[in-house]
């Protein structure tokens, strides 16, 4: 059990660092292409992004280890547990900085889209592995 937990934590930490790094770099490139040489949203925005990425990684780990055989049901359960956490994170960030008028819509679209993309990729990988075993 301890070995399993250690491996899960290491895998999650590496995944977290990779996703956070890529999203931050892409965000910075986007700003630079627009001629903006500093993040107008500041450090709090970075911490909010870090929290949302952490929730995403937790969702991934939960989806891997949730003892539900039906993949669709597993995805629905994970989404139902993590989406409120994402919305709570955005709501809590409103106490630090005012939210844009479309903040909840933006995070819902972004998180849901990424969740669906990762779920689709996972489904394809599972099916490919089943075909290889035959």
The 10s digit of each residue's pLDDT in 101-122 is: 898 999 999 899 989 988 888 8
Domain positions in the chain:
41-133
CB 111 within 8 A of CB 83: yes
pLDDT > 70? residue 5 = no
Mean pLDDT confidence for 2-24? 80
Q: How far apart are CA 122 and CA 107, in angstroms?
A: 22
Q: What is the DSSP letter of 35?
A: T
- pLDDT category of residue 1 using cuts at 50, 70 and 90: low
Q: What is the H or E stretch that residue 98 is in?
A: none
Digit-coded pLDDT (tens) for 42-96: 778 788 888 988 998 889 888 888 899 898 899 999 999 999 999 999 999 999 8
Q: Decide which of 46 and 3 is more confident.
A: 46
pLDDT > 70? residue 34 = yes
- Give the predicted TM-score (pTM) of the model: 0.77
The residue among 41, 9, 11 whose CA lies nearest residue 27 is 41
Residue 99, classified by CB atoms within 10 Å of its CB into exposed (0-12), middle (13-18) or buried (19+), is middle
The residue among 44, 47, 56, 48 whose CA lies nearest residue 18 is 56
User: How many angstroms from the chain centroid is the CA of residue 120?
Assistant: 14
Angle at which helices 42-65 and 2-33 cross, to 10°:
140
> What is the average pLDDT score of the chain?
86
pLDDT of 130 reads 84
- pLDDT category of residue 37 using cuts at 50, 70 and 90: confident
- The token pair at 66 is 């949730």
């Amino acid at each position: 059990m301890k070995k399993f937990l250690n491996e899960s934590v290491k895998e999650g930490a590496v995944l977290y660092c990779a996703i956070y790094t890529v999203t931050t770099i892409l965000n910075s490139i986007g700003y630079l292409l627009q001629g903006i040489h500093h993040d107008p949203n500041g450090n709090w925005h970075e911490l909010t992004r870090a929290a949302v990425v952490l929730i995403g990684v937790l969702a991934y780990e939960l989806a891997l280890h949730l003892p539900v055989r039906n993949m669709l049901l597993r995805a629905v359960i994970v989404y139902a547990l993590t989406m409120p956490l994402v919305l709570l994170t955005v709501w809590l960030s409103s106490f630090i900085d005012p939210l844009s008028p479309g903040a909840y819509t933006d995070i819902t679209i972004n998180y849901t889209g990424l969740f669906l993309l990762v779920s689709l990729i996972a489904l394809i990988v599972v099916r490919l592995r089943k075909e290889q075993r035959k």
